[in-house]
Every structure is written in C-alpha cells, then in structure tokens.
Amino acid sequence: MHAHPDDEASSTGGVYRVLADQGVRTVLVTCTNGEFGDAPGGIKPGEEGHAEDEVVRIREGELDRAVEVLGISRLIRLGYRDSGMMGWPQNDDPKSFWATPVNEAAAKVAAIMMEERPQVVVTYNEFGFYGHPDHIQAHRVTLAALELIDYEPTLYFNAIPNSVMAKWRERWEEEDREQKAADAEKGVVHELDTLQAEVDPVDMGTPDNLIGATIDVSSATDAKREALAAHHSQIGESFWMKMSPDEFRAAMGTEWYVRVTNPQGLEGNVEDLFAGYR
Ligand SMILES: [Zn+2]
C-alpha cells in the first residue's frame, strides 16, 4: 500500500524484486496520482510551467516502467488526488486523498484484499514514515481495511533502523556542507531560514530493537536502482541517483520492516516477509 508513484521503488523496491524472483505474487496499490510532484526540469507545483495533467501522465508512464522492472504482478491505481505536503491548501481539496473519508477508501482496499487474500501486507507507520499526509492516510486506510476483511494477514511497516539512519544523516550533512562550500565559492548566500529548516530534519528512524524483518535484497539492488531511475521526473536529482551503481549496491542491499500483526506467531527478527507461510 503506497501513497505515490515512486514510493514502491524507494521503500520496497528490493523486496518486490526479490519476491518476484522467488515466484511470489505481489500486488501494488498506489493511492494517488502524484499531481503535486515536480514537473520536468524540477518545476515545483505552483510555479509557472507546472501542469498537473502533464505531471500525472508522466508519472503514470514512470510507474508502469518501475512495476515492470520490479516484477510486480498487479498494479492498482486508486486514483485519488495528491494532497501536497502537510499544511498546503491542497490538503483541503475534497478530492484529495487526505480529505477522503478513511472508511470510503478502506472499503475499496478491503475489496482488493478479499479478492487477492494477501498473506502479507506492507505499508507505512502512523507517521507515514516521514509525515506526508498521503502516506499517513495510506497507513490509516490500510489499517481500516484490515478491520473489514475476514482474516488477519501479517502486517509490516517499512522502516530504517536508527543506527542506519544515523549513517545516512552523516552522509547528507556532509553533502550539505560540500554544497554550501561550493555555493559560497560562487558567492551564493543561503538565507538563515533555509539553514534552520535543514538542521531540523524529520526523525524517520526506528529503534533497532523494534525491527522485525531484515531482508537481504542485495540480489535486487540493480533492479531497485533502475526502478528509481524510472521515476526520473521525481528523483533524477535525488541522493540515490547521485550514487554510482557500485555505491548503490553497497548501500542499498538491505530493507527493514517492523512487524505489526503476527498471526503466524513469529519471534524476533526474521529474514523473510513470508516467514511462517512457506
Ligand atoms: Zn510518497
């Protein structure tokens, strides 16, 4: 259960490909069309040249490509309108995913679950991993859908352990310092408020001892990188794409999950999302 086109690649791309290689059927539900992503050239919503229809069309094609690369068996687009970032006026658009009653969307998701009967369901934690309203709503809708079906799958939230997040943060801060130094040399001065925003990052980490599944996706890093690259309009300039293929392989070979429901009575940190089912 993902919020936007590209989330399937960034947070779960490795497991999708690994599961496909194992012959496991996977279903991706993407809740929104991603209207408020960047237009080509990094044009932000609200800026001149950002046409929602064009962004949606481009992101549809990008998602189709990523689905193919990751070997996802079935893609379902719920087609809700992107809600924008928290606090944006788009949050209040009645067509936005955020403004959609949870039960209304949950009924649709429950119907999909009853048809597919997944053994394992994956979505975000109650914080939506990083606070985006569409991610929070995807969490709420998934949990509400699970209340409507006639059995209990194993539910996981994607996660990054605090120990790993600390290393990433170091890397980002280093890149940031280098960027600022380069900018200073060119005479670019950063406003104080943007500096302030950068030193107060959202806490996306999970305590290491809460991780319930650590998945080796090292066989799938090239596919994950290719799936991310497919979402070129959104993450062409991201830190992922700045890594060389070798760096990417070294850094992205593991995905982590928190186990939320446990009908199979699993203990500890497992190495397979389908542990107990095979
Ligand atoms: Zn997203």
Q: How far is the CA of 111 from the centre of ligand 1 (A)?
A: 23
Q: How far is the CA of 135 from the centre of ligand 1 (A)?
A: 6
Contact assessment for residue 15 and residue 219, using Cβ atoms and an 8 Å cutoff: no
Q: How far is the CA of 77 from the centre of ligand 1 (A)?
A: 14
- Label residue 160 left, alpha or beta by phi (over 0 means left) and psi (-120 to 50 means alpha): beta
pLDDT digits (tens, 9 = 90+) for 112-152: 999 999 999 999 999 998 889 999 999 999 999 999 999 99
Q: How far is the CA of 276 from the centre of ligand 1 (A)?
A: 30
100: DSSP letter: S
Q: How far is the CA of 1 from the centre of ligand 1 (A)?
A: 11
Q: Report which residue type is found at 217.
A: V
Q: How far is the CA of 203 from the centre of ligand 1 (A)?
A: 16
Contact assessment for residue 245 and residue 225, using Cβ atoms and an 8 Å cutoff: yes
pLDDT at 203 over 80: no
pLDDT digits (tens, 9 = 90+) for 245-260: 999 999 999 999 999 9
Mean pLDDT along residues 207-217:
97
- Between CA 72 and CA 234 the distance in angstroms is 20
What is the CATH T-level fold of the domain 7-160+220-252, as seen in this structure?
A: Rossmann fold (3.40.50)
Which one, of 54, 77, 92, lies nearest residue 5 by Cα?
A: 77
276: DSSP letter: T
The model's pTM: 0.91
SS3 171: helix
pLDDT at 201 over 80: no
Q: Is the dihedral of CA 255, 236, 68, 225 positive or negative?
A: negative
Count of alpha carbons within 13 angstroms of residue 45, beta-carbon side: 16
Q: How far is the CA of 14 from the centre of ligand 1 (A)?
A: 17
